[in-house]
Chains A and B, each alone.
Chain A
Amino acid sequence: MSSLFLIGDSDKKSSKSDGSNIQNSTFSKLLNFAPPFCISFHQFEVMAEPAYTVASDSETTGEEKSSSAFPEIAIGIDIGTSQCSVAIWNGSQVELLRNTRNQKLMRSYVTFKDEIPSGGVSYQLSHEHEMLSGAAIFNMKRLIGRVDTDPVVHASKSLPFLVQTLDIGVRPFIAALVNNIWRSTTPEEVLAIYLVELRVMAESRLKRPIRNVVLSIPVSFSRFQLTRIERACAMAGLHVLRLMPEPTAVALLYAQQQQQLIHDNMGSGSEKIALIFNMGAGYCDVAVTATAGGVSHIKALTGSTIGGEDFLQNMMRHLLPDYDNLFSSRGVNEIKSMGLLRVATQDAIHKLSFEESVQIDVDLGNGSRICRKVNREEFEEVNQKIFEKCESLVIQCLLDAKVQADDLTDVMVVGGCSYIPKLRNLVKSICKRELYKGMNPFEAAVSGTALEGAVASGISDPFGNLDLLTIQATPLGIGIRANGNSFVPIIPRNTTMPARKELVFTTVRDNQTEVLIVVYEGEALKAEENHLLGYFKITGLPPAPKGVPEINVCMDIDASNVLRVLAGVVLPGSQQPVVPVMEVRMPTVDDGHGWCAEALHRAYGSNLDLVTVQKK
């Protein structure tokens, strides 16, 4: 039934879009890379694959070719959960690009209302409520690369479009409501449509084709999520030069500002240690950087999926305790009421940053009306857990960086939540510092990506303004499953990149001829609570008593953040490997990685286990 419907639907839509793409330049650009959007994502990916430039396979070669011939300055993009911006090094400074409506910050959404999907770069909402009509998909940064068992996906079910989960570890089903039809899409597709708009906007501003980009990403993104971002970029015809954790982009801007001060003879050249707290609508990240002479050395990174969206959802449930019940059916009317409440609550939260209390008066259209005063204390109490989490991220980051609050030179609070008084105060009180005033909190991250874009494109500046370097650190540990069901990190969190580390493991039973290497990323002690990156088997081990074969697992991350896992086996006394060494570029998992881990476990149990070689 559903396949019949989809085929019919796609035929109809594609014939129509042939005519309409002439009128709309954005969409015609998009059509070069992708077929019409109305077909199911299976078809979408299979059919469109050859037309894409798959960034992940040509990354290094592409970069080296383009930068050696004639340097094209890469643009920096900050894809926020709620807002996006684009910036470029214009030859003397960073400049944010404006869209045709003269906006530097553009709402992150794509609406499927018309035949042609359009995003917040080009499209003018007639009213905020239009975004909440069910036809628009937003918060894609919260959804991309997550499986349907993820609590963040479950929390997204209260958004006014369809997020359906089966709770088995596969990609959630996402759809926009168009003419009372749920039209399916994927976070990658939504992001790609949006990125095409950004690209078209930048191309028209800069009057040249744009290919290379540096994007900022949340610290807590897994490598699997990074591949999804790269995929969306490839779908949009963009080549990713670098994915930069957001606070490290801010750190680079800070490093440049400090250099500038020295050039102007206003600063000292001594090392400065800064803490960056970055909280937007979707994510909260913290970094500690040590900066001197334009080199930003990232000491530690912490991050979590908490943000303005959580403040908003907590407040909506606080104002309307029956929220989940009322909106569970998700008809057109429910979505409308939900949207009304969302706008009113969002408005109130913004005002509470500057006022002690605010009056909310909203008619939900379904017979209920919320009319009451909310004060700042109430907001802080409702969101107490989020503030506590923020505190713990800052404290953890200082601890990981081995830095005391007294060592800090500067403290920055940036991102969409940076005007919330409670947040500013908690950062100030932990760091015992007033906040740094030298940067625009909404533009800091995108400015940093633009600087990195220029540096990574090989651009130099006669005044030394681009003599910058970021020494990055790994935001999450990477290791394998061993010692039963434990996660054994091989490259720990906050390891300086590029990095290469190895550990030796051995067999758990006599005459074990095969071992299974399952690679995870994360911090949890139990293997399966981390992000699965991939797995492979080493076969053909010669019969030997348990504990004798030495299985060396080496992990290598290069400066472009490409991870390779190598594994080889030697027997004591021999200098030669007994089987060819395995080299695997990770992540190798595609969708359904929740399933994979379970299936692996079910199929192999503990038969192909490994243990670490114990230090006695």
Chain B
Amino acid sequence: MVNSTIMASASAAMPSLASPSAHFMGSKVSIKHPASLPTRVHLRQLRISAACSSTAERPVSHLARPSSLYEVLGIPTGATYGEIKAAYRRLARVLHPDVSANGRKEAAGNEFIKVHEAYSTLSDPEKRADYDRTLLFRPTRSFSLSVEPMTGSTSSGFSGYTKRTWETDQCW
């Protein structure tokens, strides 16, 4: 435990020296929560799936500091595995550097990395249970209600992918 905090402090310090080119993970969506807890408590997830389809399509980048991995993916905390996957793919289609406009590939890469980290934690039942436990002890706002309204300025950056006609309404 002691050293994992050292590690965290080091990585928090690094961005200040490398941030101009955004090489290091700037914001701490980092999944370096304690790797192994002595006892694993699997929280049974409540199934709240109603809000999913409306929120997942929205790019996450306008969330300057998403307060949870669920927010990164734009899904409710009770999302099912299928919904997590669907949200990940929808976001990949707009955020992956291969489909984003030239000139913002690096930013897109950083966003995609965050989305992928959120996905890889939430799609693994054990990691998700561990993560959900950390959420319980955090004074966090409840998710879906707290999302700030989208501002017009953020959507302009995504002009690059509009030409693609993704079939986002497929069932997964």
Is there contact, CB below 8 Å, between A500 and B166? Answer: no
Q: Would you give the 0/1 interface string for B68-108, flagging 1 where the beta carbon is closer than 8 Å to chain A?
A: 00000000000000000100010011001111001101100
With beta carbons under 8 angstroms apart, the residue of A67, A504, A576, A614 that contacts B10 is: A504
Contact of A575 among B6, B16, B96 (CB under 8 A): B16
Is A556 an interface residue, CB under 8 A from the partner? yes
One of B1, B11, B172 near A269 (C-beta < 8 A): B172
**CB <8 Å contact, B98 and A566:** no
Task: State whether A498 touches B113 (Cβ < 8 A).
Answer: yes
B79 to nearest A CB, angstroms?
Answer: 16
Chain A residues whose C-beta falls within 8 Å of the C-beta of B14 in the assembled complex: 502, 552, 554, 568, 570, 577, 581
Contact of B18 (CB < 8 Å), options: A558, A568, A616: A568
Interface residue tally for chain B (C-beta within 8 Å): 45
Taking the complex as formed, is A583 at the interface, i.e. its CB lies under 8 A from any CB of chain B? Answer: yes
Please tell me if the beta carbons of A581 and B18 are within 8 angstroms of each other in the complex.
yes
Contacts of A564 in B (CB 8 A): 23
Assess whether B2 is in contact with A550, with CB atoms less than 8 Å apart. Answer: no
Q: Quick check: B102 and A467 within 8 Å, CB to CB?
A: no
Name the distance in Å between B62's Cβ and chain A's nearest Cβ: 21
Is B35 positioned at the interface, with any CB of A under 8 Å from its CB? yes
| Residues in B neighbouring A319, C-beta threshold 8 A | none
A574–B170 alpha-carbon span in the complex (Å)? 51
- With A270-B172, A498-B112 in contact, is A554–B24 under 8 Å at CB? yes
Determine the chain A residues whose CB is within 8 A of the CB of B166 once the complex forms.
293-294, 467
Residues B3 and A613 in contact, CB atoms below 8 Å apart: yes
Q: A558 to B106, Cβ gap below 8 A?
A: yes
Task: Tell me, yes or no, whether A292 is within 8 Å of chain B by CB.
Answer: yes
Do residues B164 and A498 form an inter-chain contact, with CB atoms below 8 A?
Answer: no
Q: Nearest chain-B residue to A613 (Cβ)?
A: B3
- Interface flag for A50 (CB, 8 Å): no
- Say whether B45 faces chain A, with CB atoms less than 8 Å apart: no
| A:211-237 near B, CB below 8 Å | none
Q: Is the CB of B109 within 8 A of A269?
A: no
Question: Do A270 and B171 form a contact, CB below 8 Å, given A292-B89, A502-B11, A554-B23?
Answer: yes
Asked if A456 is at the interface (CB within 8 A of a chain B CB), the reply is yes
A572 within 8 Å of B (CB atoms): yes
B49 at the A interface (CB under 8 A): no
* Cα(A498)–Cα(B109), bound, Å: 6
> Interface code A477-510, partner B: CB below 8 Å = 1, 0 otherwise?
0000000000000000000101110101000000
> When A270-B172, A295-B93, A570-B10 are in contact, do A68 and B102 touch as well, CB less than 8 Å?
yes
Q: Complex formed: what's the CA distance from A408 to B10 in Å?
A: 42
A550 to B10, CA, bound (A): 7
A456, B105: Cα distance in complex, Å: 13
Judge whether A103 is part of the interface by a CB distance below 8 angstroms: no
Residue in B2, B17, B23, B96 whose CB lies within 8 Å of A559: B96
Residues of chain B contacted by A63 (CB below 8 angstroms):
102
A356 to B103, CA, bound (A): 59
Known pairs A498-B109, A575-B16, A613-B7; A556 contacts B23 (CB<8 A): yes
Which residues of chain A are within 8 angstroms of B164 by Cβ–Cβ distance? 460, 467
Which residues, 1 to 33 on B, are CB-close (under 8 Å) to A? 1-4, 6-7, 9-11, 13-14, 16-18, 21, 23-25
Interface check A469, CB cutoff 8 A: yes
Bound Cα distance A297, B98 (Å): 13
Is residue A64 within 8 Å, beta carbon to beta carbon, of the partner chain?
Answer: yes
- The interface bits of chain B over 98-126 (1 if a CB of A lies within 8 angstroms of the residue's CB, else 0) are 11001101100100110010001000000
- Would you call A332 an interface residue if the criterion is a C-beta within 8 Å of the partner chain's C-beta atoms? no
Cβ-defined partner of B89 (8 Å) among A295, A499, A568? A295
Check A615/B170 contact, CB under 8 A, given A467-B165, A498-B113.
no
Decide: B92 and A469 in contact? CB cutoff 8 A.
Answer: yes
CB-defined contacts of A496 to chain B, threshold 8 Å: 116, 120
A512, B85: Cα distance in complex, Å: 47
Per DSSP, chain A at the interface is mixed
Q: Are B172 and A292 in contact (CB-based, < 8 A)?
A: yes
In-complex Cβ contact of B171 among A269, A455, A568 (8 A): A269
Interface bits A543-560 vs B (CB < 8 Å: 1, else 0): 000000010101010111
B163 near A: Cβ within 8 Å? yes
Bound CA–CA A63/B101 (angstroms) = 12
Give the complex CA separation of A570 and B9 in angstroms. Answer: 10
Instruction: Quote the shortest CB–CB distance from B32 to chain A (angstroms).
Output: 10
Say yes or no: A467-B167 contact (C-beta < 8 A), given A496-B116, A554-B24. Answer: yes
* Partner among A60, A262, A552, A581 whose Cβ is within 8 Å of the Cβ of B11: A552
Best-surrounded residue of B1, B105, B163 (most CB of chain A within 10 A): B105
Give complex CA distance A574, B9 in Å: 10
Residues of chain A lying within 8 A (CB to CB) of residue B4: 615
Assess A499 versus B3: contact at CB under 8 Å? Given A471-B92, A570-B10, A575-B16. Answer: no
Q: Chain B residues near A552 (CB, 8 Å)?
A: 10-11, 14, 24
Task: Tell me, in angstroms, the Cα distance from A258 to B70 when the chains sit together.
Answer: 30
Q: Is B155 an interface residue (CB 8 A)?
A: no
| Residues of B close to A504: CB separation below 8 A | 6-7, 10-11
* B97 A498 Cβ-Cβ under 8 A: yes
Q: Quick one: closest A residue to B166, CB to CB? A: A467
Q: Report if A558-B109 is in contact (Cβ < 8 Å); known contacts: A262-B167, A456-B98, A570-B13.
A: yes
B154 at the interface (CB under 8 A from A): no
The answer to the question of B134 belonging to the interface, with a C-beta cut-off of 8 Å to chain A, is: no
Q: CB-defined interface of B121-159 with A at 8 Å, one 1/0 digit per residue?
A: 000000000000000000000000000000000000000
Contacts of A261-295 to chain B: CB distance below 8 A: 262, 268-271, 292-295
Contact between chains at A500 and B7 (CB < 8 Å): no
Query: Roughly how many angstroms separate A457 CA and B51 CA in the complex, as a whole number?
Result: 36
Chain B min CB distance to A61 (Å): 10
B1, B23, B89: the one within 8 Å of A566 (CB): B23
Residues of A within 8 A of B6 (CB): 504, 550, 572, 613
User: Which residues in A have their C-beta under 8 angstroms from that of B98?
Assistant: 455-456, 469-470, 559
A583-B23 CB under 8 A given contacts A502-B14, A575-B13:
yes
Residue of A whose beta carbon sits closest to that of B21: A583
- Interface 1/0s, chain A 598-616, versus B by CB < 8 A? 0000000000000001111
| CB proximity to B under 8 Å, residues A345-393 | none
Given contacts A552-B10, A564-B23, 13 further A-B contacts (CB under 8 A): A292-B170, A293-B166, A464-B165, A467-B166, A467-B167, A496-B116, A552-B14, A552-B24, A559-B96, A559-B109, A575-B16, A576-B16, A577-B13
Q: Can you name 12 A-B residue pairings with CB atoms under 8 Å?
A: A262-B167, A268-B171, A469-B93, A469-B99, A498-B97, A558-B106, A558-B109, A566-B23, A568-B18, A577-B14, A615-B3, A616-B1
Q: Write the residues of chain A forming the contact surface with B, with a CB cutoff of 8 angstroms.
A: 60, 63-64, 67-68, 259, 262, 268-271, 292-295, 297, 455-456, 460, 464, 467, 469-471, 496, 498-500, 502, 504, 550, 552, 554, 556, 558-560, 564, 566, 568, 570, 572, 574-577, 581, 583, 613-616
